[in-house]
């Protein structure tokens, strides 16, 4: 399965961004992981079909009303398949 890796920067910590994105992606049925990074960015791995990834990226870009996504880096990576979507705290 194709895995996409994202680094999201901007005002994305302390504003419910990780919970919002994790909740939406889990409901969408994708698998993966979202977590905060020490530098203030958020790291996300997403596995799903083409339509799920397309919709999931809309949630990543939108965020919460309190967040402000300034930049998204995206790359395709080789990884084992995730069993579900996890939000790391």
86 classed as catalytic: no
Q: Cα separation of 10 and 32, whole Å?
A: 21
DSSP SS3 for 71? strand
Sign of torsion over alpha carbons 51, 88, 7, 19:
positive
Q: Which of 18, 24, 39, 86 is catalytic?
A: 18
Encoded tokens for 20: 């919002």
Q: Which of 35, 36, 39, 86 is catalytic?
A: 36
Catalytic residue set = 18, 36
């Amino acid at each position: 399965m194709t895995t996409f890796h994202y680094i999201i920067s901007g005002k994305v910590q302390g504003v419910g961004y990780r919970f919002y994105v994790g909740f939406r992606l889990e409901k969408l049925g994708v698998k993966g992981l979202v977590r905060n990074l020490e530098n203030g960015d958020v790291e996300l791995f997403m596995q799903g079909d083409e339509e799920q990834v397309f919709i999931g990226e809309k949630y990543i870009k939108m965020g919460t009303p309190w967040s402000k996504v300034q930049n998204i880096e995206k790359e395709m990576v080789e990884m084992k398949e995730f069993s579900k979507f996890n939000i790391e705290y």
